A = this chain, B = another copy of it.
Amino acid sequence: MPPRLRSYLPILDWGARYDHAALSNDLIAAVIVTIMLIPQSLAYALLAGLPPEAGLYASIAPIVLYAIFGTSRALAVGPVAVVSLLTASAIGQVAEQGTAGYAVAALTLAFLSGGFLVLLGVLRLGFLANFLSHPVIAGFITASGILIATSQLRHILGVDGSGHTLPEMLHGLWSHLGQINVITGLIGLAATAFLYWARKGLKPALRRAGLGARAADVATKAGPVAAVVLTTLAVWVLDLDALGVRIVGAVPQSLPPLTLPGLTPDLLAQLLLPAILISVIGFVESVSVAQTLAAKKRQRIDPDQELIGLGAANLGAAFTGGFPVTGGFSRSVVNFDAGAETPAAGAFTAAGLAIAAVALTPLVYYLPNATLAATIIVAVLSLVDVTILQKTWAYSRADFTAVAATMALTLLAGVEVGVGAGVGLSILLHLFKTSRPHVAEVGRVPGTEHFRNIHRHEVITQDDLVTLRVDESLYFANARFLEDLLQARVSDGCDVRNVVLMFSAVNAVDYSALESLEAINSRLSDMGVGLHLSEVKGPVMDRLRATHFLDHLNGKVFLSQFHAWQALARPETDPALATQ
């Protein structure tokens, strides 16, 4: 088999070695994940503003396609909270919720997102996702969690309301306060409280009640199912829907339908940027989950092939009535903990969900939307982590600025603006930091061959010899900084005769910096000052050798700073030199 084909189809690799033990482990994991995914899928469809069945459909074909093309053994693909929020925000701008156009826009978004991911994967451009810095992601996820939780309050309270930013949502809630449905509110708050407790307190309580660790674990994971069953029964038995409690209602009993995304140029143009954003955010989240789980078994995932796997999953969603999907954190961890060994576990989960879509949908007719909202709120609150503000503040102001701006703009101006500004700002801050590099004037530590910062250590220096250690690669953004610094340093000290630039931390010199070095060299020549370099790295030296810089250099290149000192320092300043 050609190795290229094998790299594009990881299934050929693990499929060939599939055995009975793996099958049994995968089946057990699939049952657990399926139970957990049914209410979650319905809930994320609600969050995306789509009919509940879309959540089930978005979990079936994508899981199977990821199993074929993806490289992670444990990743579970499907609708996730942040991507659903981004979906709602993007398609809310092109169509009215509840219309046919809205569902078609969701398909188109999944199609564009899938196509973009596959393209990045084939071009091996996965590294582009790295420009989304960790603080930006953390700030964005936290702000998204707050937005999602707020957006679900209206379902908990049974009121209308909409909006894609925090002020819009709060205003919507405020202006509909009069409509609160008390029974819906009671169901919603009870479900939220129960789910929150189930997350934190159910497992210890079950253990205390004598249940085994494994059974307590499974029972805890089934908490949302219990909430669904109990509130559905309550509505059905007490006829609460007649009192204004909004319910899921009729869900078609069907396998995922074949659907076509809308491909009008207008729609594609409007959804392209949101699709790119969704792809990148989904990819970053998914890869970090996959990498964490792979490391636990010393396995390896291939980020570029992951792009193809996630892209295929989204294309699958686009043609089977779904919406954008990615690898989810909680479902993947459950899958992993439940013992899934290969992506086949995902395929079995898909089969379980397909059975649910065909056979079980009548059972959720009386399921109150408030319960689904409670499921979402409890799930996303675990995403909210404002300690990132304190952590980055303590670590570096630049990182803090990026987090704070991302968070504030996501809440106040929406998800696209928040992420866009975060990425732009973190790039600018990085360029800003490297544009004013740390440059230390160094002198010789007595009795050693070491040279250290004259402001931090007791060192030997001499007036006519200036040695600067540049702690940054030289490139256009800091080239002129070095020019200015040297001009200031040398014109201030009128007796300077030699300047040594210590290049131990200079990993690269670009063409701008080369020209700056040439300018520095010719200006120092005009002043009668020698320019020398020391400890230049191999790759940098190779570049410089390809130019005329070294021919024109009015000083020398020294292998080490100590060699430079031996050649340039006057023995009367440093008695040790005289004896050497």
Residues of chain A whose beta carbon lies under 8 Å from any beta carbon of chain B:
127, 129-136, 287-288, 291-292, 294-296, 298-301, 303, 391-392, 394-396, 398-399, 426-427, 430-431, 433-438, 456, 471-473, 475-481, 483-484, 487-488, 490-492, 494, 504-505, 507-508, 510-512, 514-516, 519, 522-524, 526-527, 537-539, 543, 546-547
Contacts and interface: CB of A to CB of B under 8 A. Distances in A.
A475 B430 contact: yes
B431 A127 contact: no
A420 to B, nearest CB: 15
B473 A472 contact: yes
Contacts of A391: 511, 547
Where chain A touches its partner, the secondary structure class is helix
Contacts of A287: 480
A222 to B, nearest CB: 28
B526 A438 contact: no
A511 B476 contact: no
A382 to B, nearest CB: 18
A130 B398 contact: no
A526 B481 contact: no
Contact of A487 (B134, B294, B394): B294
B507 A127 contact: no
A516 to B, nearest CB: 7
A387 to B, nearest CB: 12
B300 A478 contact: no
Contact of A130 (B295, B392, B426, B480): B480
Given A430-B476, A543-B396, A134 B515 contact: yes
Contact of A436 (B127, B472, B516): B127
Contacts of A392: 511
B480 A127 contact: yes
Given A300-B491, A391-B511, A504-B504, 7 more contacts: A130-B435, A131-B476, A134-B476, A288-B519, A303-B480, A395-B511, A426-B476
Contacts of A127: 435-436, 480-481
